[in-house]
Structure 1
Amino acid sequence: MQEVFSQYIAYLEAERNVSAYTVRNYTRDLLEFFAFVSEQGIETLKNVNKQTLRAYLAQLMEQKYAKSSIARKLSAIRSFYRYLMREDLISASPAATTVSPRLDKRLPEFLTQDEAKRLVESPDVSQPQGQRDRALLEMLYASGMRVSELVNMNVEQVNLSTNEMRVWGKGAKERVVLIGEPAAEALNNYIKEGRRELLGGKRNNALFVNRYGNRILVRRVQKILNKYSRSINKSVHPHILRHTFATHLLDGG
């Protein structure tokens, strides 16, 4: 087993070009599986069958492994047996028809109203970038927009007299998004002051710009969220703000 296993790991690294993290996980998962197989008195991989694999999965469940961990271990075993078939070392895989455990659905994460308030009020609005960040966070929280929609917005899509924004979403479909007064005020301050300073005389229709006057990118928004999420001691991703928007909207009736 050891020789074939070493060849498989070399195959993953050289031909599949998988990450070191995946190689490390697969190595650990497969060595644990091999240990179980040996305990069953099975000496060759050809003698491993569906019943062997099911017994192993049952043991993992008895040991209270998370379903996600079991699914990952099974994925490693499937990959290994696909390699054995590819090399004509076996004619059939015992893992081919074995179904992964159904993962429990996790409830969407969201922020409390206090956490959301502290998050959006974190930026230093005495600085241009702080005004931009405050407006950006307020918009994400108040509108439920996707980050991709937000970064693609142009300034002419905003009507602050009615607190409305024209947004193009998936499939180039246009919709009108309403925002509340806090978001409108933050956006107004940013457009009148911070945005002008960030543009530095540059002509650009983008609503949100970086310090070079160019349209802000999605990955930059994530960095902004990472920066200010420290104020609430939580890791905040864009989808969490979308869930927060929906949750607070429902709570507010």
Structure 2
Amino acid sequence: MSLISAAQRDALANWLAHERGVKNASDNTIEAYSNDLAGFLSFLAAHHGGAEGLGPLLRIAPSDMRSWMANERARGTGARSLARRLSAVKTFFRWLAEREGFDPTTVLSTRAPRTQRPLPRPLTEDAAKAVIDTVGTLPREGWVGTRDVAIVTLLYGCGLRISEALGLTGADAPLPDALRIVGKGGKERIVPVIPAARQAVADYVKECPYDLGPQEPLFRGARGGGVNPRVISKAMETTRMQLGLPSSATPHALRHSFATHLLNAGGDLRAIQELLGHAALSTTQVYTGVDNARLLDVYSAAHPRAKRG
């Protein structure tokens, strides 16, 4: 950050403190923001011939943004990574504009490069059931297999993210009829727990050799600590190889499968959005492979203005 002026370093530090304190951004997000903005500010300093105060930021021109993006692409930055960095820059400038009283339109109107969003690939119902049946039979200690069955049953039966399942504590056992889950961005949702998931977790709790205190992780590793997500990914990898499933059969694919199978069974798209904890209905649309016509039907049925017709 040697090229960045003291005023810009202070602004960056204050913004990161704001994101951490007010927006409750995670450590990983703060680190990514810091790296993205440091790179952007260093480029601007070099682009303008040396470190200056906040002036270049307040007077930033479209040509500055084009030059930065072209430089990023020339350095080998992919479209998706560049879009993420641009998003961080926009968030910073929106905050800075409120403090300094300038118009951030130049930055905010900069278009991100187009990225082709990969479509999710859910498992078939038979394949999802086979995964649950098989993952517990892998060669390792019996209680570990029971643990993995409980985890993948939560992913498929309740649509949890792997981090959400592994974030459960001993206080959550025995599982209630519904779990209060805190997902991405601190967004809370209520998730019904199917009997199969309650039973799978009860079987694991009965066999687990460790004391599952209310503040301790519910799911334990072989040495007693919390389970690393990679352990479940590895179990899924072995399972899919045994079953002849594609490499897309990951723990997250079970969450995709939960949503898709629920929708195919007649579930309401809005309700599925709530169960998954998606902020936008369009995310659920992509998640479940819903076409635009069906999305429009849901929108028309749910939007107050559309209802008034």
For Structure 1 versus Structure 2, the TM-score category normalised by the shorter chain is: 0.5 to 0.7
Q: Which amino acid aligns with 2:62?
A: Q
Does residue 140 of structure 1 match 2:168?
no
Partner of 2:213 in structure 1?
214
Alignment partner of 1:120 out of 135, 138, 142: 135
Does residue 195 of structure 1 match 2:215?
no
Displacement of 1:72 in angstroms is 1.4
Does residue 107 of structure 1 match 2:119?
yes
Listed one character per residue, the Cα deviations across residues 205-235 of structure 1 (whole Å, up to 9, x for unaligned) are xxxxxx1133564786983542132242889
Displacement of 1:136 in angstroms is 0.9
Q: Which amino acid aligns with 1:195?
A: V
Does residue 226 of structure 1 match 2:230?
yes
Displacement of 1:98 in angstroms is 1.7
Partner of 1:28 in structure 2?
39
With the length of structure 1 as denominator, give the TM-score of the two structures: 0.54
Specify every segment of 5 or more residues in structure 1 that has no aligned partner in the other structure, as ranges: 39-43, 158-165, 200-210
Listed one character per residue, the Cα deviations across residues 84-115 of structure 1 (whole Å, up to 9, x for unaligned) are 884x6x85445354244276544236568499
Partner of 1:162 in structure 2?
none
Helix, strand or coil: the match of 1:242?
helix
Give me the CA root mean square deviation.
5.3
Does residue 154 of structure 1 match 2:174?
yes
Whether the 8 Å contact between 1:30 and 1:76 is mirrored in structure 2 is: no
Displacement of 1:66 in angstroms is 0.5
Cα distance in 2 for residues equivalent to 1:174 and 1:144? 7
Count of equivalent residues: 217
Cα distance in 2 for residues equivalent to 1:123 and 1:154? 25
What pairs up with 1:239-250 in 2 under 5 angstroms?
Answer: 239-246=252-259
Displacement of 1:26 in angstroms is 1.6
Whether the 8 Å contact between 1:122 and 1:134 is mirrored in structure 2 is: no
Whether the 8 Å contact between 2:3 and 2:42 is mirrored in structure 1 is: no
Whether the 8 Å contact between 1:149 and 1:167 is mirrored in structure 2 is: no
What pairs up with 1:10-49 in 2 under 5 angstroms?
Answer: 10-13=10-13, 16-17=16-17, 19-36=30-47, 45=56, 48-49=59-60
Listed one character per residue, the Cα deviations across residues 41-100 of structure 1 (whole Å, up to 9, x for unaligned) are xxx7289454324543774697584154145146337636864884x6x85445354244
Cα distance in 1 for residues equivalent to 2:234 and 2:165? 25
Task: Return the index of the structure with the highest Cα Rg.
Answer: 1
Relative distance call for 1:9 and 1:245 in structure 2 (3 A) is: same
Displacement of 1:144 in angstroms is 3.7
With the length of structure 2 as denominator, give the TM-score of the two structures: 0.46
Displacement of 1:195 in angstroms is 3.2
Whether the 8 Å contact between 1:226 and 1:236 is mirrored in structure 2 is: no
Helix, strand or coil: the match of 1:23?
helix
Helix, strand or coil: the match of 2:227?
helix
Percent identity reads 16
